[in-house]
Structure 1
Amino acid sequence: MRIGFDAKRYFLNKTGLGNYSRDLIRMLEKYAPENEYLKYTPKTGDQYINQPTSQKNIRLPQGFINTTWPNLWRNQRIVQDLKKDKVDIYHGLSGEIPLGLAKAHIKSIVTIHDLIFLRHPELYHPIDRWIYKKKFKHACEASDRIVAISECTKNDIVDLFHIPEEKIDVVYQGCHEAFKTIKTEEQKANLREKLKLPQDFLLNVGTIEPRKNILPVVKAIKDLDIPLVIVGKPTRYYQEIMAYLQQNNMENRIFFFQGLAMEELAVLYASATIFIYPSIYEGFGIPIIEALYSGTPVITSKMGVFPEAGGPTSCYIDPTNISEIKHAIISLLSDSSKRDEMIEKGLEFVQKFNDELVAKQMASIYASL
């Protein structure tokens, strides 16, 4: 079969949706090579185009209209290119599919990551909410199959868009291979020296925004002798955190980083004493999976999708309860045998997200269409 992908984020997004797109296509190319995978994108940027083996499967808009209005191409005119390329199935990897696929007799699948804009509308501008709802609802109704990245997201699709649950498959995300290799003590020491980090620290990874909710952790460690490393792009929420740090003379105890190379990030995960992820809402929570593969104990939120990602032996807290967060941190820092048990059981649990399993499940859905 020929599978076409909406690869805009594959090439142009360096975090969440981009990582999902790159990881899924990489897994499929490796473990389901019986299909041909074509990547359709308005442009490539300069990050991945230089891989010669993948250039032949990249499709860009052609002609004056499509190159002048690439969004029009991606949302509608792309169908003509899919027909010309004899694509059997088009997979929208980020909640969107173009108009006219069914009329062109091209089967379609859409991946829905989350419906946060409906569950927490206060986090989004009204115009953005309207656009997202229109795009996602159309994709869910018009596609032949829907892939949800968690049971939590599947339930939201059924509840909020009234889609029959038998139309939806849950296929969990995998993660980058960098997190799955054992890191040496030398690698860890070198990175700590480069970033000027202490031996023990808490780690949080994700955009620094209200939904990720890292400020309660900062407050929880105010009187604890443990620093916190935060890796992510800052938003206005960052200023709120900085104001608290300055008021409480904590500036030298919180380390902020962004733009780390994937290998550096993987070593950082493996170096952390505890990974803490107090997010309010996620479609899945891939940093939890990255931490478990890295052999790092996880503290995360007790509601929503997080137990799905963290498994039975991660530590779960109310992300709004500062004293509960503080108690969880103290308990794990003071009990190395408990941390060792969480590492061992976490590594066992996370094998359900292995690349081959994810690829075979997705390839089976393609074959069913």
Structure 2
Amino acid sequence: MRIAIDITPLLEKQWGGVSWYSFYITKGLVEYAARGQLRVVLFYNQRKRLPDNISILLKEWKNAPNVYVVGFRMPNKILNFSMSFLRFPYLDELIELKIKEVDYWILLNLSFIALTANTKYIAVCHDLSFEILPEFFTMRQRLWHHLINPRRFYQNAHHVIAVSENTKQDLVDLYAIDPERIDVVYPGMDHGLFYQRDDTRAVREKYHLPENFILSVGTIEPRKNYETLLEAFDMLLSRSPILTKEGTKGKFDIMNLVIVGAEGWKYDRIYRFWNRMKHKSQVRFLFNVTREDLPYIYSAARLFVYPSFYEGFGFPPLEAAACGTPVIVSHSSSLPEIMGDAALYIDPFNIADLARAMERLLSDSALCDTLQTQGKEKVRTFTWNKAVHTLTDIINDYNFIAS
């Protein structure tokens, strides 16, 4: 069997959850192909020169047995416009100019893609946040979603992969997709990278991290609910003066908040809010943290907070739990499903609720120990091997192939 994978998400300048998901799934399918269990065609379109790391990666994959890499050099805007409005060119026909026919396409994210009517494709849905919380998206992003037509994209798919039961239910409720056509395939965790690190001194020095800090990780944008976190942190310090610079003489008692993430939409609004904080000097933003350093920062934190309004899956809470850090998350969207009993839950709209949760974990070592143990147990259930194996089972399912 030959499958084609659109690896466009790997060409993003900054990799987020979708890009990392695409990388690990593609890597796993390439390994399956190398064992002779299927044939894989990797497709991409990029007018500009590929980044060095992607060029090296594609060269490595291209040299693997039963793997073909097909790249085009068309201007993306022209190609996207043509596929969106003219429904031309058909990508499967372009691919067939270079290699033989493929059996299925796997589309790892929403994309401007035109396939001939009889071409079967599996579409991955990460979340429908743009439908549920459109106010958290720019006008340009809303226009992009309008043009790409996610409803049609998923309704026309031969099969849909959802990254959580929550996302599956959103597809059923919002797009009226038959639940029998949707399978949940949970993403995995890179357990070789995300685990508790005992010696964090070098990374502490590299990023000038404070001795005591609460951590949050995610793009600095309104959807991540940082304003509630900042206000709750201010409330926490006002309730517990010993945690402030004015209330203690020992640097080990001072509590800080460290936020790691790239600047996203309306990040300036969050900075303006930060500038009005009473304890703003105890808040730090880190922008250029490498993925290799992130586990050390997770491990060094007293606790991890993720008050996001909506997540289709949510990698950071699991990464923090894997590194032995007690986790607080919103009781919303997929987060309770993913974290189970391995987190303390808060109402993302309730500032006082979050302040109380942080205060509780900072003062209750027994609860922290419990969450650490349950967190490490929870993350063991998420592996990329399992995700890829489940996906290949779906591809190979007799009824799926025969339909």
Q: Does TM-score exceed 0.5, indicating one fold?
A: yes
CA distance in 1, matches of 2:390, 2:116: 23
Closer, same or farther: CA 73–175 of 1 in aligned 2, 3 Å: farther
CA distance in 2, matches of 1:261, 1:125: 27
Secondary structure in structure 2 of the residue aligned to 1:300: strand
- The one of 374, 388, 398 equivalent to 1:345 is 374
Matches within 5 A, 1:5-24: 5-13=5-13, 14-24=15-25
- The answer to whether 1:36 aligns with 2:48 is no
Higher mean Cα deviation, 201-210 or 23-32?
Answer: 23-32
CA distance in 1, matches of 2:142, 2:266: 20
Higher mean Cα deviation, 334-343 or 229-238?
Answer: 229-238
Q: Describe the superposition over 1:56-113 as per-residue Cα deviations: whole angstroms up to 9, x where unpaired.
A: 5432116xx678944347974321133343322111111237323443xx32100011
Higher mean Cα deviation, 33-42 or 293-302?
Answer: 33-42
Matches within 5 A, 1:151-190: 151-185=165-199, 188-190=200-202
Q: Describe the superposition over 1:13-43 as per-residue Cα deviations: whole angstroms up to 9, x where unpaired.
A: 5222211111221233346742233321112
- Tell me the amino acid that sits aligned with residue 110 of structure 1: A
- Tell me the amino acid that sits aligned with residue 90 of structure 1: W
- The answer to whether 1:254 aligns with 2:283 is yes
2:251 corresponds in structure 1 to none
Q: What is the CA RMSD across the aligned residues, in angstroms?
A: 2.4
Closer, same or farther: CA 340–27 of 1 in aligned 2, 3 Å: farther
CA distance in 2, matches of 1:54, 1:366: 21
Closer, same or farther: CA 141–248 of 1 in aligned 2, 3 Å: closer
Q: Describe the superposition over 1:303-337 as per-residue Cα deviations: whole angstroms up to 9, x where unpaired.
A: 22110121123100001111110110011111222
Structure 2 gaps, min length 5: 238-242, 244-254
1:58 corresponds in structure 2 to 69
Secondary structure in structure 1 of the residue aligned to 2:60: helix
Matches within 5 A, 1:203-282: 203-222=215-234, 223-224=236-237, 225=243, 226-235=255-264, 237-282=266-311
1:290 corresponds in structure 2 to 319
CA distance in 2, matches of 1:140, 1:73: 16
Deviation at 1:364, TM superposition (A): 0.6
**Residue pair 2:326, 2:343 contacting (<8 A) in 1 also:** yes
**Residue pair 2:196, 2:295 contacting (<8 A) in 1 also:** no
Deviation at 1:130, TM superposition (A): 5.2
Larger Rg: 2
- The answer to whether 1:322 aligns with 2:336 is no
**Residue pair 1:212, 1:280 contacting (<8 A) in 2 also:** yes
Higher mean Cα deviation, 353-362 or 7-16?
Answer: 7-16
- Tell me the amino acid that sits aligned with residue 2 of structure 2: R
Deviation at 1:279, TM superposition (A): 0.4
Secondary structure in structure 2 of the residue aligned to 1:59: strand
Q: Describe the superposition over 1:114-147 as per-residue Cα deviations: whole angstroms up to 9, x where unpaired.
A: 1111111222355643542553112212211000
Q: Describe the superposition over 1:138-196 as per-residue Cα deviations: whole angstroms up to 9, x where unpaired.
A: 221221100011111111111111111100011111233454344231xx111011111
CA distance in 1, matches of 2:135, 2:89: 31
Closer, same or farther: CA 248–171 of 1 in aligned 2, 3 Å: same
2:240 corresponds in structure 1 to none
Number of residue pairs aligned between Structure 1 and Structure 2 = 363
**Residue pair 2:164, 2:313 contacting (<8 A) in 1 also:** yes
- The answer to whether 1:304 aligns with 2:319 is no
2:115 corresponds in structure 1 to 100
**Residue pair 2:304, 2:327 contacting (<8 A) in 1 also:** yes
**Residue pair 2:5, 2:41 contacting (<8 A) in 1 also:** yes
Structure 1 gaps, min length 5: none
Secondary structure in structure 2 of the residue aligned to 1:122: helix
CA distance in 2, matches of 1:359, 1:300: 27
Secondary structure in structure 2 of the residue aligned to 1:234: coil
Could you tell me the percent identity over the aligned residues?
A: 31
**Residue pair 2:223, 2:308 contacting (<8 A) in 1 also:** yes
- Tell me the amino acid that sits aligned with residue 53 of structure 2: Q
Secondary structure in structure 1 of the residue aligned to 2:309: coil
**Residue pair 1:216, 1:322 contacting (<8 A) in 2 also:** yes
Higher mean Cα deviation, 338-347 or 219-228?
Answer: 219-228
Deviation at 1:352, TM superposition (A): 1.9
